Structures are given as C-alpha cells and as structure tokens.
Structure 1
Amino acid sequence: MNKGIAKLLSISLLCIFLIACQNTKQMDNNSSPPSSDHIKYNQEGDIRDDQPQLEGGSERDVREPHPVSNDKLQKEYPNILVLHGNPTKNQVALTFDDGPDIRFTPQVLDVLAKHDVKATFFLIGARAKAHRDITKRIHDEGHAIGNHTYWHPNLPKESLERLRWELTETEQVIEDIIGFKPRLFRSPYGALNEEIVKTLGEMNHTVIGWDVDSVDWKLPGADMVADNVLSNVGFGSIILMHDGGDWSMDLSGTVEGLDRIISKLKEDGTKFVTLPELIGIPETK
C-alpha cells in the first residue's frame, strides 16, 4: 500500500470514529431530562436572554386545535381528566398557559386586575424559576396556579420517567416560590394518552383540558381571539388562552381580546372563577 492510500484510509477511519462519538453523545443527551444548557436564547436579545423556550416547539407547529382523543379519555377517566365545569351554572374559568412571560404575563395580570377577575395560570417550571417575581405576583393577586411541566415537551413522545421528572421539578420550583405543590396539571399542547392520564392520577394530579379554545396561539388578532371565545363559551366553560409561548409569538392580541371577552361576558351576568372553584377541588396536592 502506498503512502497516499494509507493516509487517505487513516483520515477516513478518523472521520468514522468522530461521527460515532457524536451519535453516542446525542443518544446520551436524549436519554435524560434537559439541563439549563438546553435553554434557547431570544434571537433579538432586547427582551430577556434567559427566557426558557418551549422544548417541544411552537404551539403553531405542534398542537391540533381540537384534540378529540381527550374527550374519549375524559369518559374513561372522569375522576382524573376535566374538560369543563357545571353546565347549569353561569360561570367560567379563564386559563393561561406557557408563562410566566416577561413580556405578556404582566399585561394579562393588569387586565384581570382592571376587571377584578381571577384566573388560573399553568406555569412552565423553567420560566417560573427564571421569573420568580411574576410567579409570586400571580399568586399574590389571588389567581390559581397549575403545573405545565418544566420544559414543555410533547409528552406522548417521552417516557413516563421523563413525565415524572417534569412534574416533580416544576412542583419543587413552585413550592419554593409560593409555598405549595399544585394539584392542577395541564399537558403541553393538550397532548395526552391513556398511560399519561393513569400516571397523573397515581401522582394525585387533576388533569385539566378545555372546551373553549381562543386559538390565540395562531396569533389571529384581538377581534378573532374575542370572537373565538364568545362564539363558543357556555355555562361551565374552561377557556384556553396563553400568556406566553414561543419567543417569536406576539400575544398583544390576547391581551386586547381578553379585555373584550371579560367586558362582554360580564354584561351577560357571567361569573369568572378559578379552576379550583369551578370544579370544586383544592388548589394544592
């Protein structure tokens, strides 16, 4: 074998070795929950560079607007999964996912305070830890708090071990800030399956879905956000909205639409309550 061929063969073997090492490293990373090293940073850099992002991806890229499978699961597990409240009482629960967000959660809280309305916030553990002051404000102003996982993964694609880690880490963060572990849980993207629901029940969680979707995650603007809610709301409705999301999402339409929704429903005599009040369960585990 001449020197040229030998050199080429050596380089090829080195490349194969390096690729194999990289693949092994990726497999190792995927087998365990992410650490703070996995935080993606705001590309604009002028808001906050420590805002943890949604690991599973933007709501627009992942979530189906009407997960019919959750209706089937609710019939199978009525004591664990809740999609709406009492259909005979003129009261509704506003719920907000994916916060706390440094940009939009304070604006949502301002609108709620303006109307003296209480809501329920499903918090991402990593964001609650990054924005402790906003998390505390949510609690101090009388709103209920639920668990929305630590990194917002798409849970049906993860192991049950990962689910338990996400729940426990978020519980610890929230308890450290406001003094208790929340009982309420909402799955990112509303994504559930039978195994997940069973595990959540075993961990003493009440799983919360919704029956009215504002579809604000599609950023349709304030008029459509308000219309989506007002055209579908009924007695006992659980209304899905967002006070946070992917770094690229501008939720100004949610804030403006929320003001209109509350004003209109108040005219109809609708009472706004937290989820623990709507379904008659304690907020804490």
Structure 2
Amino acid sequence: MLCISLVGCQYFNQHENGNPQDQLDEFEHTTYEQERDLPDKQPQLEGGSERDVRKPHPVSNNILQKEFPNALFLNGSPSTNQVALTFDDGPDIRFTPQVLDVLAKHDVKATFFLIGARAKEHNEITKRIHDEGHVIGNHTYWHPNLPKEGLGRLHWELTQTEQVIEDITGIKPRLFRSPYGALNEEMIKMLEEKGNTVIGWNVDSLDWKQPGEDVVADNVLSNVGFGSIILMHDGGDWTMDLSGTAQALDKIITKLKNDGTEFVTVPELVGVPEAK
C-alpha cells in the first residue's frame, strides 16, 4: 500500500490483517493527514492515477449490482430518454471551472463525486458546484484503492468526506462512488448500512487517457443510451491535462439535446434522495 502519512502507515502496517470490525472501531481514533508538499495546494490521488491503477473489469460490478439492486446503480431506467453526466476527482482549480462553465452554458445539471481533501482545499469551487444546482457525491477523502484496505479505512474516508461537504454545502451526501470503480461485497454491505447509495456507470468517456476532445466525445456518443450514467473527470493526477473534457462536453450535450435527450442528476435518474 502507498502510504502518504506516517500515522496512516503505522496504523495500516499494524492492522492490515486484523478483524474488520476491530479496525473500524480503532480507526475512529486515528488521525490520517497528508504531510508532503502539494503542487499549488492540489491534494493528490493516494491510490495513483487512473491510467496506472484502473484495469478493465467488464462484468464484476454488474454481478454486484444484481446482488445489491437497491444499493448499487450502474444506470437508470432504459425506457426513458434521460442520462446523467457525472464527474470524478474534483474539485480541480484548473478544470472544474471549465466544466461548470459548459454546463451553465447549456443549463444542464450534473453530479460531481468530490474528493474530500480537494473539496476542503478548494471550498469556493465546491460551493459553486452546489450553488449552481449540481448534486455532490462522496468520492473518499484521499482516493485510495479501497478493496486493498480494511473496512475501517472505508469508514474513515466516508465520514471525513461527508463532514467536509456538509460543512460547505449544508448537505450530507448520500451518493458514493468508489475510486477506480473498485468494489466488493463487504464494501457495499457497509455502505448500505451507513445509508449510502453506491453509483457506478455504464458509459466511460475514457477522458482520463487524455485522447483528445473528439475521441472523448465519440466514446460517449457511440455508447450512450436511455438511462446511461456517463463517467467523465473534472480532476485527476496533477500531470493530467483534462482540458479536452470540457471541450468534448460541449459537443456531447449539443448532440444529445438535438436527439431529444434530457440531462438529469443521478438522484433524479435512479430515484434516490440527494442527502442522507
């Protein structure tokens, strides 16, 4: 495991093979804070960039969705021409404002899954997302690869991010998206018990590969359908250039609106509350 905190490393090295409930209880008393210098105050992805970590798992989350149909959603109803745009890994001081500007231009509301450390550091952007009518979901505090961690770590990441978002917006988010889309049964059971709804996707823009705006737009438009949850990114590893995401977004919205598609938020698409 990649450790970016002395306290965090000490805790996980000592307890990674322990009982999950013991980890959860003890981790409540553990402080986990990043200690290294950050480029332009941009908290980084602990688990690594999408391009280094994310591997194709074409059916694993579909299997989990069948097992937990009321807790995990990969898409909405296939009978209505509605889709939900979602953005991960923000807020980012470079790209989130660009995405928000495009959404405002088209009067489209989206769902942003925010990293707690970034939401806290860039609280004005977080507030703008909320004030402009978009839904905010929980994307953990440090973006670890959660299946490699204990349930105590998940609980800490969940609650710390909830508190940050609630302090800024007044809303405790119900929606949760796991970094890299990485999930297992134990995680979903715990999240369901905590009152969360887990959100995946069924259309991946692959913008994190930085292929350029035309390819990003084509990745979405070639795969979108009724009820699609579309994955895009307004943040990522500091070395990534996601300017193509905002440029592709303009093309995606224009084309789908011309086809009569309605853009809704994830809570509207799947019929769950925005807040706990």
Does 1:150 pair with 2:141?
yes
Which of 38, 42, 65 does residue 41 from structure 1 map onto?
Answer: 38
CA drift of 1:76 comes to 0.3
Does 1:255 pair with 2:246?
yes
Match of 2:169 in 1: 178
Does 1:276 pair with 2:276?
no
Does 1:243 pair with 2:234?
yes
CA drift of 1:213 comes to 0.2
- Quick one: which amino acid aligns to residue 216 of structure 2? V
CA pair 100-119 structure 1, distance change in 2 beyond 3 A: same
Report 1:95-244 matches (<5 A).
95-244=86-235
TM-score norm. by structure 2 comes to 0.89
**8 Å Cα contact 2:8/2:32 also seen in 1:** no
Match of 1:28 in 2: 10
Q: Which has the larger radius of gyration?
A: 1
Does 1:56 pair with 2:47?
yes
Measure the CA separation in 2 of the matches of 1:254 and 1:34: 32
CA drift of 1:180 comes to 1.4
CA drift of 1:159 comes to 0.5
- Quick one: which amino acid aligns to residue 103 of structure 2? L
**8 Å Cα contact 1:185/1:207 also seen in 2:** yes
CA drift of 1:258 comes to 0.5
**SS in structure 2 of the partner of residue 207 of structure 1:** strand
**SS in structure 1 of the partner of residue 245 of structure 2:** helix
Deviations 1:175-200 (A, max 9, x none): 00000110000000000001111111
5+ residue gaps, structure 1: 1-23, 43-47
CA drift of 1:77 comes to 0.4
Identity %: 75
CA drift of 1:41 comes to 2.0
Which of 76, 79, 85 does residue 88 from structure 1 map onto?
Answer: 79
CA drift of 1:260 comes to 0.4
**8 Å Cα contact 2:84/2:111 also seen in 1:** yes
**8 Å Cα contact 1:94/1:239 also seen in 2:** yes
Number of residue-to-residue matches in the alignment: 255
- Quick one: which amino acid aligns to residue 28 of structure 1? Q
Measure the CA separation in 2 of the matches of 1:56 and 1:27: 14
Measure the CA separation in 1 of the matches of 2:160 and 2:227: 31
CA drift of 1:34 comes to 3.0
Measure the CA separation in 1 of the matches of 2:7 and 2:86: 39
5+ residue gaps, structure 2: 1-5, 14-29
Measure the CA separation in 1 of the matches of 2:140 and 2:266: 18
Measure the CA separation in 2 of the matches of 1:270 and 1:209: 20
Measure the CA separation in 2 of the matches of 1:252 and 1:174: 25
Deviations 1:156-184 (A, max 9, x none): 00000000000000000000000011000
Root mean square deviation, CA, Å: 1.5
**8 Å Cα contact 2:113/2:176 also seen in 1:** yes
**SS in structure 2 of the partner of residue 36 of structure 1:** coil
CA drift of 1:27 comes to 5.0
TM-score norm. by structure 1 comes to 0.87
CA drift of 1:40 comes to 5.2
Match of 1:12 in 2: none
CA drift of 1:68 comes to 1.9
CA drift of 1:30 comes to 3.8
